[in-house]
Chain A
Amino acid sequence: MKIITCMKWIPDTSEAELSIASGGKDIKKDDLDYDLNDWDRFAIEEAVQLKEKYDGEVTAISVAPEDAEEMLRECLARGADEAFQIWNDAFEGSDGFVIARALAEFIRKRPFDIIVTGTLAEDDGGGQVGGMLGAMLGVPSATLVSRIEIADGKARFRRELEGGLYENIEMELPAVISVATGLNEPRFVSIRAVRKVASIDIPTVDLDELGLDESQVGHSGSRISVEKVFLPPEGEGAEIIKGSTEEAAARLAEILKEKGVL
């Protein structure tokens, strides 16, 4: 079984103090650490588990600048057999449509049974690339998938609806499956595992190999464009309890008592 998995390299903003870059169209990213999108950690793990269960090969692909090589190397250490890095500086500022298009052009020439992606990336919160890629390649797709089995050339999977409800679906292969977080337990990667794959070449792929030109990627190729970013107003919000840990804890306990729950 040929499995392709798509990995996104994103700035980790979950705990960082963020500020707006000059021009007002993005945040300042220079001081942020970059990492594999959390959802994609589950995607690569699922790809590797499918390979281990049904026998096959995993190819990891990312449209990402040079620095992201370490992420793809980590994917090899996680069990991918090969990895490709698609990049040209003209990709800077691309939306989900452009990324899906680049991935589609690359994948078009390679036979596959399943493409595994994350459902969503935490930087753009788009949730666009998986479904778009499926449509561009002419194969069905599914998102928020939380369990997968393969039988008789079909994928049987469970996908998440709201409020603890799921639906079980059967889908023809080849297909794109975008996973939900929590569907597996991403393995721990040791430094030794990374060293073991140090000599594997990670080819870089440029625009000409995709049959795309600069005008078709980046801002000019995108279908939506960020005009302005801003931090949400702090608003009314909570009454912030000040003081030492001791004092704040005492005040909180008092509030609980006032509310009659103690």
Chain B
Amino acid sequence: MKNIYVLAEHRKGTLRDTTWEALAAARTLAPQFGAEITCILLSNDASTISDRLVQEFSKVIAIEDPSLETFNSDACIKCLVSILGDKSDYLLLMGNSNSVIELAPGLSITLDAALATDCFGFDVVDGALCALRQIYSYKVNALVSFKGAAKMVATLRSGSFPFTPTAQAGGSVEKMESPLKSEKLRKVFVSYEEAEKGDVDISTAEIIVSVGRGIGDEPDMDVYQSLADTVGGVLACSRPIVDKNLLPKYHQVGTSGIEVKPKIYLALGISGAFQHVGGIKGSPLIIAVNKDARAPIFRVAQYGVVADINDMVPALEEKIKEIKG
């Protein structure tokens, strides 16, 4: 692989951390392959964003177009094809953000490239790049090869590639003509929308009792609300609980929900998928109750109990009441 391209991601005029994490991954891989790192910036106004990029990238290729203000996958594919279409021997790295989740699969077909999504690490086996991914409900790790493809695309799990800025690249920006000028896009952005806010704000809560799919299909929510009340906390949940309409969206912890930073986070019947755990990184004390000793939540928790929550929850509430007197 001669070139590693990093797609800069931005939203509402600001660069997103996924950009830097992708650069961090590129920096560990580039020396192993003797590859050159280039940033690709697709935006409506490159100047403000590229100032920061050239501190870390020696080369930035930029396309400017009004329709690139938001992340339009249709527009992005056309631009990326105009930049990469005639190239081979490359790896394109992008964060596995909700925007890229939409872009990457179609892009890989249009570029005729091999795609590995949601990679949390890389390895080089017999000189060939392999990616680490998680499969089977994120419970099993897999080492995946690109089968010798000359064009590779990989999307990266957020939080997996920590970035240290150097601010020393002193790079330059090469502007390319937008391929979008004459083309009609099949997809247009209309507006942003914020999730509805509710009567509780879990983002500021000090104590959170959080429930996951382990509460079963027809749970008695009062049991968990009662425990939350007894410890003086609020009730929160994982995504499937919101999907099943057991609690409103503003109770959901995680990357597509709310980031919380309580003093204590009590996770009941939550497996600990990274999208969930991504929302509780700021919590100093995580306590998990799960009947599966191998549940990933135990890897981020400080204390764990391997037990059935149906037994544990009433017993715990009882003990807390005793202490409180």
Which of A119, A181, A240, A248 meets B240, CB within 8 Å? A181
Interface centre among B74, B259, B312 (most CB of A within 10 A): B74
For the complex, give the distance between the alpha carbons of A170 and B186 in Å: 8
**Roughly how many angstroms separate A163 CA and B312 CA in the complex, as a whole number?**
31
Residue from the list B106, B125, B191, B312 in contact with A245, Cβ < 8 A: B312
CB closest chain-A residue, reference B295: A15
Q: Are A245 and B307 in contact (CB under 8 A)?
A: yes
What residues of chain B lie closer than 8 Å to A134, measured between beta carbons? 105-106
Q: For residue B249, which residues in chain A have a CB less than 8 angstroms away from its CB?
A: 164
Complex CA distance for A160 and B244, rounded to whole angstroms: 17
Chain A residues with CB under 8 Å of B259's CB are: 163
Knowing A225-B145, A237-B298 are in contact, say whether A182-B315 is a contact too (CB < 8 A): no
In the complex, what residue of chain B is closest to A155 when comparing beta carbons? B187
Given A158-B193, A167-B192, A237-B304, also A224-B115 (CB < 8 A): yes
Asked whether any CB of chain B lies closer than 8 Å to the CB of A198, the reply is no
B190 neighbours in A (Cβ, 8 Å) = 156, 167-170
Cβ contact of A238, chosen from B193, B255, B303, cutoff 8 A? B303
CB distance A223 to B306 under 8 Å? no
Q: Mark A210-245, 1 if CB is under 8 A from B, else 0.
A: 000000000000111111111110111111110001
Given A144-B101, A241-B304, A253-B322, check contact A13 B137 (CB 8 Å).
yes
Report Cα–Cα, A42/B245, bound state, in Å: 13
* B146 in contact with A223 (CB, 8 Å): yes
Q: By the criterion CB–CB under 8 Å, are B288 and A231 in contact?
A: no
Partner of B102, one of A18, A159, A225: A159
The answer to whether B258 has its CB under 8 Å from any CB of chain A is: yes
B136 touches A13 (CB 8 A): yes
| CB 8 Å contact bits of B263-290 with A (1 = contact, 0 = none) | 1100000010000000000000111100
Asked if A261 is at the interface of the complex by the 8 Å CB criterion, the answer is yes
Closest to B250 in A: A164
Given contacts A164-B258, A171-B186, A261-B206, contact A132 B105 (CB under 8 A): yes
How many B residues, CB 8 Å from partner? 102
Q: Is the CB of A171 within 8 A of B135?
A: no
Q: Are A256 and B231 in contact (CB under 8 A)?
A: yes
Contact of A182 among B186, B242, B320 (CB under 8 A): B242
Residue from B73, B188, B195, B324 within 8 A of A165 (CB atoms): B195
B62 at the A interface (CB under 8 A): no
A125 contacts the other chain (CB 8 A): yes
Asked if B210 is at the interface of the complex by the 8 Å CB criterion, the answer is no
Which residue of chain A has the shortest Cβ distance to B99 in the bound complex? A161
Question: Would B187 and A169 count as touching, CB distance under 8 A?
Answer: yes
A189 at the interface (CB under 8 A from B): no
Task: Confirm or deny: A131 has a beta carbon within 8 angstroms of a beta carbon on chain B.
Answer: yes
Interface centre among A128, A130, A162 (most CB of B within 10 A): A162
Interface pair B147/A225, CB less than 8 Å apart: yes
Contact: B98 with A248, CB < 8 Å?
Answer: no
CB distance from A184 to the nearest CB of B (A): 10
Q: Is B176 an interface residue (CB 8 A)?
A: no
**Size of A's binding interface in residues, CB under 8 A:** 86
**From residue A215, how far is it (CB to closest CB) to chain B in Å?**
13
Q: How far is the CA of A252 from the CA of B306 in the complex (A)?
A: 12
Q: Which of A18, A222, A228 has the most CB of B within 10 A?
A: A228
Would you call A165 and B319 a contact (CB within 8 A)?
no
B29 CB-CB contact with A under 8 Å: no
- How long is the Cα–Cα vector from A18 to B137 in the complex, in angstroms? 11
The yes or no answer to B3 lying at the interface (CB within 8 A) is: no
CA distance A224 to B105 in the complex (A): 13
A171-195 vs B, CB cutoff 8 Å, 1 = contact: the mask equals 1100100000110010000000000
Chain B neighbourhood of A79, CB < 8 A: none
Chain B nearest Cβ from A240, distance in angstroms: 5
CA separation between A126 and B108, bound complex, in Å? 13
Query: In this assembly, does A27 line the interface, its C-beta being within 8 Å of a C-beta of chain B?
Result: yes
Binds B, one of A61-69, A83-91, A108-116, A135-143: A135-143
Which chain B positions have C-beta within 8 A of A250? 319
CA distance A126 to B70 in the complex (A): 24
Within 8 A of A (CB), among B36-66: none
Which residues of chain B from 196 to 255 have a CB within 8 Å of any chain A CB? 206-207, 213, 231-233, 239-240, 242-245, 249-250, 255
A124 contacts chain B at the CB level, 8 A cutoff = yes
26 A-B pairs whose Cβ atoms sit less than 8 Å apart in the complex = A27-B136, A125-B118, A128-B104, A131-B103, A131-B105, A142-B73, A161-B11, A161-B98, A161-B99, A163-B259, A167-B193, A168-B191, A169-B189, A171-B186, A172-B186, A181-B243, A182-B239, A230-B143, A237-B299, A240-B304, A253-B323, A255-B287, A257-B323, A261-B206, A261-B232, A262-B320
Pairs A-B, 4 closest by C-beta atoms: A131-B105, A182-B243, A238-B304, A164-B195
